[in-house]
Amino acid sequence: MRRLFFLLLTMAYTIPGGAPVTPSMISVQERATLQEVLARTKAAAGGAAWDKIHTMRIRWEAEEGGLKGTVDETDDLVAVRYADAWDFGLRSGAFGFNGKIVWSQDSSGLSQVQEGSDAHEGATNEAYRRSLAYWFPERWRAKLEYKGEEQDEGLRFFVLKVIPERGRPFELWFDSKTYLLARIVEMTAIGPLRVFLSDYRESDNLRVAFHVRVQLPTGSENVYRAEKIEFNSRVADSRFNIPGPPPPDFRLRRNASLVTLPMELINNHIYVSGWLNGQGPFRFLVDTGWGTTSITPEVAKRLRLVVQGTQKTMGAGEGTAENRFTKVASIRFGDAQLRNQSILVTSAFDGRTRDAVGNFAGLIGYELFKRFVVKLDFERRTLTLILPSRFLPRGRGTIIPFKLSNTIPMVSGEVDGFKGEFIVDSGFPGSVILYQSFIAKNDLLTKFRPKFEAITGWGIGGPVRNAVTRARIFRLGKETIPDLVVPLSSLKKGTLANPYLDGAIGSELLRRFTVTFDYSRREIHLERNTNYDEPEIFDRSGMYLNKRPGWFEVVDVVKGGPAHEAGVRAGDRIISMDGKKASALTMPEVRSKLRGPVTTRISLVLQRGNSRHRVVIVLKDIV
């Protein structure tokens, strides 16, 4: 799951500063108008008084996701550094830029350098704004353009488009009457972010926005009210640097250096058993593409957890789900225990987004991988947690370096000669999926000529529709994997439309190796196993099903596929399969059956409206 909180907080305020713009970066036609707007906006906000401001500290009273708390903001305007720290009770953290690196700190106190281009461009934009560089261009270079006037909600604004060096475009909207900054508009990885500034008050001869409302791409809103502002106070350099590691909040029993757990592989999803607050066992899906540990509302109710707040989140689908916040005293996997954990309670897990397995608790990802070296042995069906200080790489196989994109590992790969950056997402059951921006940039719909488009999965926010093809070769380091099924995403919203990512590598590819994730060294170790040469089999029925109580819903049917030729239509209910009632079948069993050998005949009893009839599907390869 991709998290925007730190970026949104850093955008929560922006106030002007002052200095002439570099003439070489402005066209002759717009120079006078742009200069005039910049001069008037600076004067309205305090004029030359901003020239003497070097640092600024703000304490914000904040409300985010229904939680109330505080945000402490520290800005070095001249050295172009900043840091925010927040505390909302059930969750806390920090985010900063020290002039060189971007870092974030989560509720556990553990900090990570943010290496993805999305985080760097967002931090660059914030560095530009906080250094007031549209009035002090010597602090940070940028291309500025006066776009003219815009009207919205009966108000008129002067609009500047800004593209900072190494940043991304955003707009500053100044009120045409007051010349004070009223709005910021920026396109993020998952959609537009809008910031509304109001309640300007005078402080030390400067006019500052005391009220900020942030409208997130998901539709949620955060509100910030300035409680205290200090100018030119002394700030230590350490305030902007990445914090050191916190005391360990986990332990292995009997001073062990590792613990090995049984691992289930269901529909290419990795499950391990865990206990929450001493209750269980529950099944947890292990997902490198997931950030904060998350559980279902049913499990939260069973544990009688205090749940607060609500915030929308996006995933692989085009819709949203709701997250709420809570804490647990302990999470235990075998002899490994995590203490005092901030977790999410999410509506994302229904019968369509999970495998309908029993005792399902939720997902765990980054919270496990950031603490331990994690070894996934797909052949022996074991998951091993190893203390990073005790991990000794054996030097066999292939070592893949990775960067951390928020909380997800990102590696370089190549699909049929097209190079890209791919996240490694063990929660994605396929081999490789390509995202919209990568498809468009390389004209892959023309080059791959996919045979059909269909729903191939169900993510947070709804169905995942893709064009489906095969790639001749996928290269990952020195490993070359042939003939993989490659969906080409058709989605315009959600994580699969993220313009900063080219695609994802999933567990169908990973299961061909024993895979060891070492986040501390930013390495993935791949050792081939007996699955390496197995061909990838795509669904041979040509239909996508969801599990319902007592029946299976036919959600999508591929035109010309076996199900379509047998007369199956979207909306049909499957009451039985090969004489076995649907209520007695699990979703994983059915998916495995529909990937059976070519020419296998499968008998279905369908219900359409008030009538029932029998059809026979003859399986065949459709991709």
595 within some domain: yes
Report which DSSP code applies to 531.
Answer: T
Give pLDDT, residue 28.
43
* 203 and 284 part of one domain: no
245 within some domain: no
Q: What is the DSSP annotation of 343-409? A: EEEETT-STTTS---TTEEEEE-HHHHTTSEEEEETTTTEEEEE-GGG------SEEEE-EEETTEE
CATH code of 400's domain:
2.40.70.10
* 209 and 335 part of one domain: no
- How large is the average pLDDT for residues 140-151? 95
611 within some domain: yes
Provide the percentage of residues in the chain whose pLDDT is more than 90.
82
pLDDT at 14 over 80: no
The residue segments making up the domain with residue 214 are: 5-240
pLDDT, tens digit (0-9, with 9 covering 90-100), for 56-115: 999 999 999 999 999 999 999 999 999 999 999 999 999 999 999 999 999 999 999 999
* 255 and 217 part of one domain: no
SS3 category, 44: helix
Chosen domain end from 475, 497, 528: 528
pLDDT at 9 over 60: no
What's the number of domains the chain is made of?
4
* 323 and 346 part of one domain: yes
User: Residue 546 CA to chain centroid, in angstroms?
Assistant: 25
Give pLDDT, residue 503.
96
Give pLDDT, residue 351.
55
176 within some domain: yes
- How large is the average pLDDT for residues 221-237? 96
Do the beta carbons of residue 273 and residue 280 sit within 8 Å? yes
* pLDDT interval class at 227 (50, 70, 90): very high
**In this structure, are strands 191-203 and 181-188 parallel, antiparallel, or unpaired?**
antiparallel
Give pLDDT, residue 78.
96
Report which DSSP code applies to 524.
Answer: E
pLDDT at 8 over 70: no
413 within some domain: yes
Beta bridge partners of 117: none
Higher pLDDT, 496 or 17: 496
* pLDDT interval class at 350 (50, 70, 90): low
Give pLDDT, residue 355.
62
* pLDDT interval class at 490 (50, 70, 90): confident
pLDDT at 440 over 80: yes
* pLDDT interval class at 356 (50, 70, 90): low
* 197 and 320 part of one domain: no
pLDDT, tens digit (0-9, with 9 covering 90-100), for 163-205: 999 999 999 999 999 999 999 999 998 889 999 999 999 999 9
* 335 and 393 part of one domain: no
The mean pLDDT value of the chain amounts to 91
Spatial separation of the C-alpha atoms in residues 40 and 34, rounded to whole Å: 10
* pLDDT interval class at 3 (50, 70, 90): very low
Give pLDDT, residue 141.
96
Residue linked to tokens 């002439």 = 20
Model confidence pTM above 0.75: yes
**Structure tokens that stand for 538 in this block:** 């795509």
SS3 category, 559: coil
pLDDT, tens digit (0-9, with 9 covering 90-100), for 288-322: 999 999 999 999 999 999 999 998 887 776 677 88
Give pLDDT, residue 327.
97
Report how far apart, in Å, the C-alpha atoms of 193 and of each of 116, 384, 586 are: 19, 40, 41
* 72 and 214 part of one domain: yes
- How large is the average pLDDT for residues 495-524? 94
**Structure tokens that stand for 459 in this block:** 């993510």
CATH code of 59's domain:
2.50.20.10
534 within some domain: no
* 175 and 256 part of one domain: no
* 149 and 12 part of one domain: yes
Spatial separation of the C-alpha atoms in residues 310 and 540, rounded to whole Å: 41
pLDDT at 116 over 70: yes
**Structure tokens that stand for 270 in this block:** 């990795």
Chosen domain end from 348, 383, 418: 383
* pLDDT interval class at 353 (50, 70, 90): low
* 256 and 287 part of one domain: yes
Provide the percentage of residues in the chain whose pLDDT is more than 70.
93
* 230 and 263 part of one domain: no
Do the beta carbons of residue 51 and residue 43 sit within 8 Å? no
pLDDT at 20 over 80: no
The secondary structure element, H or E, covering residue 230 is strand 221-231
Chosen domain end from 219, 240, 261: 240
pLDDT, tens digit (0-9, with 9 covering 90-100), for 367-386: 999 999 999 999 999 999 99
In whole angstroms, how large is the CA radius of gyration of the chain? 27
User: Is omega for the bond preceding 23 within 30 degrees of 0, making it cis?
Assistant: no
Give pLDDT, residue 18.
35
**Structure tokens that stand for 14 in this block:** 């922006």
Burial class for 379, CB neighbours closer than 10 Å (0-12, 13-18, 19+): middle
* 364 and 396 part of one domain: no
**Structure tokens that stand for 78 in this block:** 């001249």
536 within some domain: no
328 within some domain: yes
Contacts within 8 Å (CB) and 24+ apart, 309-312: 309/64, 309/65, 309/66, 309/67, 309/88, 309/90, 310/65, 310/66, 311/64, 311/65, 311/66, 311/218, 311/220, 312/216, 312/218, 312/219, 312/220
